[in-house]
Amino acid sequence: MVPLSYYLVLSGFLFACGVAGFLIKRNIITIFMSIELMLNGVNLSFVAFAAHWHALSGQVFVFFVMVVAAAEAAVGLAIIIAVYRTRETLNVDQVNLLKL
Amino acid sequence: MNPMLNLWLIPVLPLAGAAINGFLGKRSSRTAVTTIALFFSGAALAMGLWVALRFSSLTLPYQEYFAHWIRSGSFSVDFAFYLDQLSLVMLLVVTGVGFLIHVYSVGYMWDDPSYYRFFSYLNLFMFFMLTLVLAGNYLMMFIGWEGVGLASYLLIGFWFTKDSAASAGKKAFIVNRIGDFGFLIALFLLIKHFGSLNFDQVFQSINPLRAETASAGLLTAIGILLMVGACGKSAQIPLYIWLPDAMEGPTPVSALIHAATMVTAGVYMVSRSHVIFERAPMALTVVAIIGTLTAFFAATIGIAQTDIKKVLAYSTVSQLGYMFMACGVGAFSAGIFHLMTHAFFKGLLFLAAGSVIHAVGGEQDMRKMGGLKSYIPWTFLTMGIATLAISGIPPLAGFWSKDEILWKAYQVSWIYWLIGLITAFLTSFYMFRLLYMTFFGDYRGVQVDAHGHGSHGHGEHGQAEPHESPMVMLAPLMILALLSLVGGLMGIGNHFEHFLAPVFGTGETVEAASRVTEFLLLGVSVIVAVSGWWLAYWLYCARPELPQKIADSLGGFYEAVVHKYYVDEFYAAVFVRPLIDGSTRILWQDVDRKVIDAAVNNAGAGARHLSDEVRHMQSGNIRSYAGWIAAGSAVVIGFMIWMGVR
């Protein structure tokens, strides 16, 4: 059986990758994907703990997170398309003003 | 059981006068101010006389408790009064001479615009001086001690628009602070080692102690520190320098404060503490040496002064030296006797000098006087009596008291006696010099003096010719002249000493053999006094061109004497200038501006710089916020891991 710490290390690695990508990347799509990566890193630790403690609440939580992430993806992608249409760029450094 | 005397009224009456005149005097007439000032100082005198009349029926020392003051554990100081033979003498001198000078001031200050202020200060002085002499403990005495210093400061600087008067007041105050410092430390030592400041308790605990003959100890330290205090207040070497400058004040002030009463407070304090001094021979020797040196030193300066009041000022310093010489040889009653007679004749000399200054329109330089005896005969007569008295011509007051001191000094050491004798010669010389320069020869002043020396702000200065003072000024002169004539007679047969004996203990009885010596010494001092008179007559009346020649032939030495041996300049160079420079350069420009001010300024500037830096964190850039959050959580997680590892 794979020990819990392995899952947690992987989960922490995924989360750290997400953080790094969020901070470093300029492209909005990539930033968006980094956020998804952080969410999934957290999901992984939820699932690992649920399996370790034989408790279902962790898995239920993961479903909630997925639902919210899906909804967020829908709204977020819509915003990104709207931004691209108006600004013709996806570089966050050039999208720092709300007014045109 | 003693009857209640209500001694507290004696100082409080003049205080009431000071308050009324101080608060309401500006709007009242001169007559009202005069009435109030004279009534309250006269009431103090009346009470003093009433106490003197009932004195024989009292068990002494009479003590009166008025109110609580300080209570801390076993230590307590109250508003308490203390009356014995010594305080009675002081009480009568202060109220008596004080009242006469109040009367004189009515005439002298009548034209001054701040008439009410003068009398308010004068009454205030009476309050503090009476507190000083009637105090039942050292702390009450210290209140009076500081209070007379304040009154002295206010009155020296009475004409404060004159720069020299203002700075003379400050000088007196600051020099006195040095002495008070010693006095205060002596009080602290008393509290620490005897747990009390009340006269009777302190003296009771000191009485059984043995004299510190072998080595100096606590009592010697207390004695010397008390003497430091007395040096300040009574203008002894090395702190005498303020008194000559104090002559900037109005002349009645010089008479009352700087001749008759306040400056003798040091002698009173030393005599009051005689129990301490008698057990500290070294402290007594210090007192005697300081007194003797001061007497001689000041007398030599007095010879070459040309300002009439300065001569009298140095004479006062010199006579105070005599009193300390007496205390120093253990003859406290002789010191107090001289204090009393000195109050009469020196008060008179100053008042007469004031009358002279008044007559010649504010002039104080004796070289511009002369021949005044026909213009102001009464002043001349009274001043002549005072001069005879101070010079020690029998049977006037000064002869008895001064001779008493010289005789007691001779019994301790002939050196004191010899210096005292030379000083007596100098005293006689400079006093008759003053008399001849002022009243004899031809008038050397400006005849038509359109509007006088307004700097003194008193009197009608416009007179073309010297004029006699009004009766209100002459009457005190005459009363004091009478006292100078007969005041010494109570010294005959040691009456005065016997009167004070319960305070100071009885002196040893004089044997027949030393009686002869006493009369021999008496004859010597009379000869010395007369020869001083004769020399002054010869130099300043018979051959008036001689003094200048002698002065020229002495050259540099004469210059040094005229400039008071450059003591003021020396103090300025050694103490005052380094103090001012040090304060300016180090304390002000370095410590104050570079440390204290800089700390405040830099605290402000630092806060601004820091916030200026931190301000940039609030950039509005989401990613920098995210970066900070990530860094923060990294720190928190790192910390938790580190704690976990530990």
Please give the ipTM for the structure prediction: 0.77
Q: What is the DSSP letter of B198?
A: B
The pLDDT value given to residue B35 = 93
- Note which residues in 611-630 of chain B have CB less than 8 A from chain A: 620-621, 623, 626-627, 630
Q: Which amino acid is at B122?
A: L
β-bridge pairing B62-72 and B75-83: antiparallel
Bridge partners of B75?
B72
pLDDT band at B366 (very low <50, low <70, confident <90, very high): confident
CA gap B524, B527 in Å, rounded: 5
- Res. B364: pLDDT tops 90: no
CB contact under 8 A, B630 and A23: yes
**Averaged pLDDT for residues B131-153:** 94
Q: Are the beta carbons of B48 and B92 closer than 8 angstroms?
A: yes
Residue B95 has pLDDT above 90, yes or no: yes
pTM, 2 dp: 0.80
Q: What percentage of chain B exceeds 70 in pLDDT?
A: 96
B606 confidence band (pLDDT: 50, 70, 90): very high
Write down the pLDDT at residue B449: 46
Lowest mean pLDDT among A15-19, B433-437, B461-465: B461-465
**Which CA distances in Å does B99 have to B47, B84, B256, B480?**
12, 22, 10, 11
Contact flag B621-A96 (C-beta cutoff 8 Å): yes
The two tokens of residue B206 are: 């000191």
What residues of A are in the B interface, CB distance below 8 Å?
19, 22-23, 92, 96
Across the interface, whether the CB atoms of B630 and A19 are under 8 A apart is answered: yes
* pLDDT for res B232: 93
The whole-number pLDDT of residue B313 equals: 94
DSSP states of A13-58 as a string?
A: HHHHHHHHHHHH--BHHHHHHHHHHHHHHHHHHHHHHHHHHT-SHH
pLDDT for the residue numbered B508:
53
Note if the bond before B395 is cis, omega within 30 degrees: yes
Q: Which of B215, B237, B246, B217 is nearest to B328 (CA)?
A: B237
Three-state SS at B81: strand
pLDDT class of B33 with cuts at 50, 70, 90: very high
Q: How far is A72 from chain B, CA to nearest CA, in Å? A: 19
Question: For residue range B372-411, what is the model confidence (pLDDT) as tens digits?
Answer: 888 899 999 999 999 999 998 888 888 989 988 998 898 8
Length of chain B, please? 646
Bond prior to B113 in cis (omega within 30° of 0)? no
The HSE-up count of residue B488 (CA atoms within 13 Å, CB side) is: 24
pLDDT in tens, A15-38: 999 999 998 998 999 999 999 999
Q: What is the mean pLDDT of residues B404-422?
A: 91
Q: What is the mean pLDDT of residues B575-587?
A: 89
Mind telling me how many Å the CA of B608 is from chain A's nearest CA?
Answer: 29
Amino acid found at B551: A
Q: What are phi and psi of B307, to 5 degrees?
A: -80, 125
Residue window 627-646, chain B: list those with CB within 8 Å of chain A. Answer: 627, 630
Within 10 angstroms of residue B262's Cβ, the number of other Cβ atoms is 28
Which of A32, A38, A31 has the alpha carbon at shortest distance from A17? A38
To the nearest whole angstrom, how far is the Cα of B629 from the nearest Cα of chain A?
10
What is the band of A100 on the pLDDT scale with cuts at 50, 70, 90? Answer: low
